Amino acid sequence: MGNRLNYIDCLKVIGIFLVVWGHWYPEMSSIWIYAFHVPMFFMISGFLSKKEDSFSGFMVKLTKSLVVPYFLLSFIAMLPSMRMCIQHPDLLCVKLLGITLGFHTLWNVSCNGTMWFVYSLILIKIISQLSNRYMNVVLCLLSVIFAYWYNMESHENNWAVVNAVILYPFFVIGNVCREQIKGISTWVTGHRCYSAIIVMLMFVPSLWMVRNNGMVWVFQGGTGTNLALFYINALTLSFMLFVISCIVTIQRSWVRVISSGTIVILALHIILIGRMRPFIDGSLYLGTYGREVCEFCLSVLILMIFIPIIKITPIILLGGRKN
């Protein structure tokens, strides 16, 4: 995809902001954030992906863009706990095994953490490369059936492979609907007022559907209380945010920097949240609304902190993405 798509950059910036804000687990906003932000990123990934002519060429590109950054950033994210790992070599072995096999946690030890998303995306991209259109239809149907069974059985997922199975349809939707998405973006940029009205009209029913489906813990394989509402909410809210991104379309260097460095932010923002959280938890006067506002503002601050970090980050950690 030759020309840079500014609305996708904006959408990625909003998406990674929601990831950061969501990991504060804000009391009022979590149910809305978790309803769609992870599926939206898989749809973006599908939109930006295309089949390579040869599987070997695909694997070279995948290794450079995702596999190498996944392992390097996972190891960097381990550094705060490295002292404990050195004192307990068995803990280090479990972490390394968990990272390699794609486990969020393994034997109650935190492994790849937020990088489960990248591990799942690697698997999804491989499956997509090997599949044709008809196979994708079958795989999506099997994914829906698996998601229904998995939630009926009340499993608690700790493995990125399960996430990949459940989230595969969103990647396919983003990939298959690429031309339609481009067409919608062109229409929105030419009809901003009408587009804003459409988003406002969709807002209230979307809130109702989100509340009716309950909390969605996608990283645990959860889809809420109603599988149909899970898919509807994820698609509807992602569409709304996509339209908003097309309306605003901020063409600024900092937007491109954050967009190109989302994988770095994904891997390391938890460290900053861990350092900042005691200041929020220690305050006795914030209240629910005050805490929500503080968490929102600190999430913005975290993105700002990452801008200079991404600028000096070696391109190998960015997956070859230039900012």
| Coil/strand/helix, residue 239 | helix
Q: What is the enclosing helix (H) or strand (E) of 228?
A: helix 227-248
Mean pLDDT (the chain) is 92
When pLDDT is averaged across residues 247-273 and rounded to a whole number, the result is 93
Distance CA 285, CA 280 (A): 10
Q: Does residue 2 register a pLDDT over 50?
A: no
pLDDT category of residue 154 using cuts at 50, 70 and 90: low
Q: Can you give the pTM of this predicted structure?
A: 0.94
Angle made by CA atoms 27, 29, 35, in degrees to the nearest 5? 120
Dihedral of the alpha carbons of 48, 51, 55, 57, in degrees to the nearest 10: -60
189 within some domain: yes
Residue 304 lies in a domain: no
Helix ranges, 249-315 (H): 253-260, 262-281, 287-312
pLDDT at 155: 67
The region of weakest confidence among 172-176, 257-261, 285-289 is: 285-289
Q: Say what the pLDDT of residue 89 is.
A: 87
**Domain count within the chain:** 1
The answer to whether residue 123 is domain-embedded is yes
286: pLDDT confidence band, cut at 50, 70 and 90?
confident
Average pLDDT (189-197) is 93
Give domain status of residue 139, yes or no. yes
Greater confidence (263 vs 151) lies with 263
Residue 214 lies in a domain: yes
Averaged pLDDT, 74-80:
92
Q: Classify residue 172: in a domain, yes or no.
A: yes
Please report the pLDDT score of residue 287 as a whole number.
Answer: 82
* Residue 44 structural domain: 34-250
Q: How many CA atoms lie within 13 A of 283 on its CB side?
A: 14
**Could you tell me if 280 and 295 are in contact, meaning their C-beta atoms sit under 8 angstroms apart?**
yes
> How distant, in Å, are the alpha carbons of 95, 125, 178, 184, 257 from that of 175?
33, 11, 6, 15, 24
* pLDDT band at residue 1 under the 50/70/90 scheme: very low
8 A C-beta contact, residue 39 and residue 170: yes
What distance in Å separates the CA atoms of residue 272 and residue 77, rounded to the nearest whole number? 11
Which tokens is 286 given?
């914030």
Task: Report strand pairing: 109-110 vs 105-106.
Answer: antiparallel
* pLDDT the model gives residue 288: 82
- Using alpha carbons, select from 256, 10, 8, 219 the residue that is nearest to residue 115: 219
Whether 275 maps to a domain, the answer reads no
In a domain, 259, yes or no: no
| Helical (H) or strand (E) element with 106 | strand 105-106
The alpha helices in 78-226, defined as continuous H runs, are 82-87, 89-101, 116-130, 133-152, 160-176, 178-190, 192-213
Mean of the pLDDT values across residues 14-39? 95
Rounded to an integer, the average pLDDT of 81-110 is 90
